[in-house]
Structure 1
Amino acid sequence: MADTDRVRWDQKYLGRTGGPPAVPQIFARYVDAIPADGQALELACGSGAATVWLARRGLSVWGVDVSPVAIEQAQELAHRLDVTDRCRFSVVDLDDGLPPGPPVDMILCHLFRDRRLYPAMVDRLVAGGLLAISVLSEVGAQPGFFRASAGELDDAFADLHVLAAGEGDGQAWLLARVKGERP
């Protein structure tokens, strides 16, 4: 990612306080599908609201984001809510791919899209692992560089067992499991 993009994201987070811990609204009605233990990875975690929510649920979570400002806010939120033992945060430029690490039980990717990462996301999940992904979409909105085309998530993750999915109002999302049983 260009330094100008990193600066732009830092500016977005400067002077803001992260919201309360919460699962992204698009996945709120599917909370029962989200594991309550194991390892999770959140891509583009921002100020850590979802990462901390997952940690409070019982997962050990690694949140990554390109913005050092956002990561500092995420660390402060985890400290304030006493889940630093289950949260780890790192500044990571996802243009370089997923950060190396062991397989995880869940990947959360909310409002970040990089088609090149789709295969790596699937490869990073354990058998039975859960992928929760939402992206901006052309469906119900104007086309654009950062927007998924109609059916993009369904096509990219066709080999997974889809629990729920949708497109509309400028957003596409998918909740799916890697086939097999969680160890």
Structure 2
Amino acid sequence: MAERDQGRWDGRYLGRSAPDPAEVGLPAVFVPFEGEFPTCGRALDLACGSGEFSVWLARRGVDVVGVDISPTAIAQARELAAASGVSDRSRFEVVDLDTGLPAGPPADVIVCHLFRDPRLYTPIIERLAPGGLLAIAVLSVVGAAPGRFRAAPGELTTAFGELQVIASGEGDGLAWLLGRRPGS
């Protein structure tokens, strides 16, 4: 499965132009909550693609590790970090998340934008440092046709129920949640 996934995603990224560093920003769903995101500490960006969310965090002063199955996406993320002047706070690795989260220290923020694997929900919570922030957005059946990669209604709020939910929503084919792990 990993080779097929890698080939499929590489094909998608090969057809895209590299992101413009001037246009890197927070994904739209999280823009109203910009102030919740840290300006220091460690971040883990799951299925980071070409690195826009990672670079946005690094520009804020966060040390980021971005992982994705696509070597092409990872190369684009590295280029974006270099062009944005944040290579010193950004590390990108090819990782198959089907095998679980990569090893590493607790994260002050974990972001996961448009990637869904319910097997990772518990490990994500466990990886968050006390007081750590989770920002996750996935495709949803709410307001869209069913599909194997789409979350069921209420999936994120149920899966991440032990977090202190800052905000969440579902609709128009997207489910998202912003929550904090209890602790200092």
Please say if 1:93 is aligned against 2:96.
yes
What letter is aligned with 1:78? Answer: A
1:17 CA displacement: 2.4
Q: For 2:161, which of 158, 161, 165 is the aligned residue? A: 158
1:133 is aligned to 136
Kept after mapping to 2: 8 A contact 1:164/1:175: yes
Q: Distance in 1 between matches of 2:46 and 2:25?
A: 15
Q: Residue deviations 1:5-64, cap 9 Å, x none?
A: 211100100042233321111101100000110000000000011100100011000000
2:36 is aligned to 33
Q: Distance in 2 between matches of 1:9 and 1:146?
A: 15
Kept after mapping to 1: 8 A contact 2:42/2:107: yes
Q: For 2:62, which of 59, 62, 65 is the aligned residue? A: 59
Please say if 1:167 is aligned against 2:170.
yes
Q: Normalized against structure 2, the TM-score is what?
A: 0.96
Kept after mapping to 2: 8 A contact 1:21/1:48: no
1:144 CA displacement: 0.8
- % identical aligned pairs: 59
1:134 CA displacement: 0.3
SS at match of 2:87: coil
Q: Normalized against structure 1, the TM-score is what?
A: 0.97
Cα RMSD of the aligned pairs, angstroms, is: 0.8
Count of aligned positions: 181
SS at match of 1:85: helix
**Structure 1 segments (4+ residues) deviating >3 Å:** none
SS at match of 1:50: helix
Q: For 1:120, which of 120, 123, 129 is the aligned residue? A: 123
Kept after mapping to 2: 8 A contact 1:164/1:174: yes
Structure 2 residues not aligned, in runs of 5+: none
